[in-house]
Amino acid sequence: MDQTDEIKQKIDVVDLISGYLTLQKAGRNWRANCPFHQEKTPSFMVTPDKQIWYCFGCNQGGDIFSFIEKIEGLDFVGALHLLADRAGIILERQNIVQKDHKTRLYAITEIAAKFFHYILLQTSVGREALRYLLEKRKLTEETIEKFNLGYTSHQPVLLRDFLSKKGYSEKEMAEVGLITKNTDGRTVDKFRERIIFPIIGINGKIAGFGGRIFKENNNPKFTPPKYLNSPQSPIYDKSSILYGLDRAKESIRAKDMAIIVEGYLDVISSHQAGVDNVVAASGTALTFEQVKILSRYTKNIAFCFDTDMAGLMAAKRALEMTKSEDIAAKAILIKKAKDPDELIQKNPSFWIDASEHPIDLVEFYYQQISEKNKDGQDLASKKSIASEMIPIIARVADPIEKSYWLKKISQDLGTDEKYIAEALQKVKNPPTRETKKEQSKSQEIILSPEEILLAAMVLYGKVREEILSSIKEDYFTLEKTKNLYKIVEACHNQNIAEEAVFLATIKDNLDNFSAKQEFDLAIFLAQTFFDSLSPNDITKDAKFLVDQLVANYKKRQRQLIEREIVQIGKDDKQKTKELLKKLQELI
């Protein structure tokens, strides 16, 4: 018997797949919504007698190996390693396994996590951080062990040198974001004097780290970011990992509810308080991919929000993602504290009670929009409420729920139901590409391409990640867009995870009330345009605008050089030669 057959004997296909999907009994088989294509009627079948799976919707199927390859994005070797670990089987030719690139990267993160954990619990360097966690954050030693928390020394190369002695290269360390280059070009540890939160993937392996400062900053010239996260890497896809899911997934399935909070400590404190179906987005704003992963375990997701503007924007994004996945979305309101962790510090029962009484997310959003327009019976307020709610209602899949909101908004705004229905129909049938071009032409009267590009960078983290490094301040022609670009770049470098917080931080950095009003208008108009586009189309459009920006910059530079050449004439051949060379480089 070869080792693949041995693994198949030890791992049941139903047990394996039920760790990823919510399976329902269907005679002798089990069924679920397929994770590999979007569907409302389950067509994904698991047959225990034959130990196979098959989807009648997308015509894909196979055994436990093919399922893991697809669901985890692995090749056969990667699936073999993962399933061998699960089955407790040691693969032959382990020396070859060690040469596998991802295996080595996972080994580095595992060693680093043990190193950080040891510093926190066993050294004098970690004593102050440990006291902070035990006394100020009120975590138990059991919780600290459970989540494998750690601490990093102030020494700049302690981890780098430790890993070097273990046989790992600086290239490998940099690839998983454990070292970085300082201003002198020397490699140093990325995380220093921070409490460390290992981030574990669905495969149970450490993919990356989050680091949090806990001491007060005494340097007035530099304010380090409160949180620092590992970058994207071959083993860490921020868009598809949820912090705490490895601990929460069984509880999520049992309670048929997932709760999403913002921070690492929110997750940890919540689990300690007994609310253990809680996860957090990992180093990024919540993504469609993360929602899709959660939907394997439950179709009920509750989001924890503040009742401020950042909370409102986060709620809107959550609605956009969950309604397209047919998720029953709820909102948990925090009223006596700024976040779940602080609420638990006051009294764990407050959080337990809040988590047990979520309200419908559309209802929450409607309440907040109505409160924002509370002056409200004037025409402008009514139009504002309608414009906010109509795109949300258009995404509601359930016809009864949609009908309820259609009637409610019509009654509350004192308008005929047919007008709301007509507006909904327009949202359901978005404009064609030709219409979009006409819309964009008319919008350019108000928003320049530079402003549209910056709005995309402000609103979408993926756009920032992909295009920020290819832009310079000099590319912008307007003083206000140059200033906004500098603010966006500075805020991006602070590694702010939550998009709503990122937006609020940028607004706080604007000079005056007029600039903030103009910014709000630009963001509103851009959102109106982007709402009809998919995330991929938004990124493509942003890249197109970058290309335009660069082309226009080069054109301006060429014109300047050409004018200078004309002015010099034949008097300075050397200078003319240098300018012609520069001109050639710009073509």
CATH of the domain at 360: 3.40.1360.10
Per the domain annotation, does 552 fall within a domain? no
Long-range contacts of 568-571 (CB under 8 A, 24+ apart): none
Q: Are 104 and 172 a contacting pair, CB within 8 Å?
A: yes
Residues 533 and 473 in one domain: yes
Claim to verify: residue 508 and residue 539 sit in the same structural domain: yes
Residue-number span of the structural domain to which 193 is assigned? 100-236
Q: Is residue 23 part of a domain?
A: yes
Decide the pairing of beta strands 300-305 and 258-261: parallel
Element housing 189 (H / E): strand 187-189
The pLDDT value recorded for residue 521 is 62
Distance, in Å, from the CA atom of 476 to the CA atom of 498, rounded to the nearest integer, reads 27
Q: Do 312 and 358 have their domain in common? A: yes
Locate all alpha helices (DSSP H) within 429-534, ordered by sequence.
433-443, 449-459, 461-467, 479-492, 499-508, 513-530
Answer yes or no: is 579 within a domain: no
CATH number at residue 35: 3.90.580.10
Domain co-membership, 361 together with 267: yes
On whether the CB atoms of residues 56 and 43 are closer than 8 A, the answer is: yes
Q: Does residue 213 share a domain with residue 189?
A: yes
Answer whether 210's CB lies under 8 Å from 264's CB.
Answer: yes
Sequence-separated (6 or more) residues with CB below 8 Å from residue 22: 32, 253, 296, 297, 298, 299
Other Cβ atoms less than 10 A from the Cβ of 159: the count is 24
Q: Which residues pair with 31 in a beta bridge?
A: 24, 45
Answer whether residue 573 is part of any domain.
no
Same domain, yes or no: 186 and 271: no
In the listed set 406, 426, 446, which residue is the last one of a domain according to the structure?
Answer: 426
At 163 the pLDDT is 96
Residue 111 is assigned to a structural domain of this protein: yes
Given 96, 116, 133, the domain boundary residue is 96
CA distances from 561 to 48, 83, 581, 583 (A): 73, 63, 10, 7
User: In b/e form, how buried is each residue of 414-437, taking b as 16+ CB within 10 angstroms?
Assistant: eeeeeebeebbeeeeeeeeeeebe
d(CA 155, CA 108): 19
The domain tally of the chain equals 5
Domain identity same for 129 and 205: yes
Concatenating the DSSP letter of every residue in 391-451 gives HHHHH---HHHHHHHHHHHHHHHT--HHHHHHHHHHHHSPPPHHHHHHHHHHHTTTS-HHH
DSSP 3-state assignment of 168? coil
Tens of pLDDT along the chain (587 residues) come to 467 878 888 898 998 999 889 898 888 789 999 988 887 888 899 988 778 898 888 878 889 999 998 888 777 888 888 898 888 888 765 434 444 788 899 999 999 999 999 999 999 999 999 999 999 999 999 999 999 999 999 999 999 999 999 999 999 999 999 999 888 889 999 999 999 999 998 778 899 999 999 988 777 677 778 889 998 898 898 888 999 999 998 899 889 999 999 889 999 999 999 999 999 987 667 888 888 888 878 889 999 976 666 667 778 888 878 876 678 999 998 878 888 999 999 999 999 999 999 999 999 889 888 887 766 566 777 877 888 888 888 878 778 888 999 999 888 888 888 888 887 777 655 443 333 443 443 333 346 788 888 888 888 888 888 888 888 888 888 888 888 888 888 888 877 766 666 777 787 777 665 566 667 666 766 765 676 567 777 888 888 888 888 888 888 888 888 777 777 766 667 777 777 777 777 76
User: In the 3-class helix/strand/coil scheme, how is 103-117 assigned residue by residue?
Assistant: HHHHHHHHHHHHHHH
Q: What are all long-range contacts of 446-449, with beta carbons under 8 Å and residues at least 24 apart?
A: 446/521, 446/525, 447/522, 447/525, 447/526, 448/478, 448/481, 449/545, 449/548, 449/549
The enclosing domain of 206 has a CATH number of 3.90.980.10
Specify whether the CB–CB gap between 41 and 54 falls below 8 A.
no
Final residue of a domain: which of 96, 130, 164?
96
12 and 121 in a single domain? The answer is: no
Which pLDDT belongs to residue 306? 66
**Does 74 fall in a domain?**
yes
Residue 562 within any structural domain of the chain: no
117 with 9, same domain?
no
Identify the helix (H) or strand (E) that includes residue 119.
helix 101-122
Residue 568 within any structural domain of the chain: no
Same domain, 116 and 86: no
User: How far apart, in whole angstroms, are the C-alpha atoms of residue 367 and residue 291?
Assistant: 24
Q: How many CB atoms within 10 Å of residue 517?
A: 11
> Are 63 and 136 part of one and the same domain?
no
Q: Which token pair is 420?
A: 């709301």
504 and 456 co-located in one domain = yes
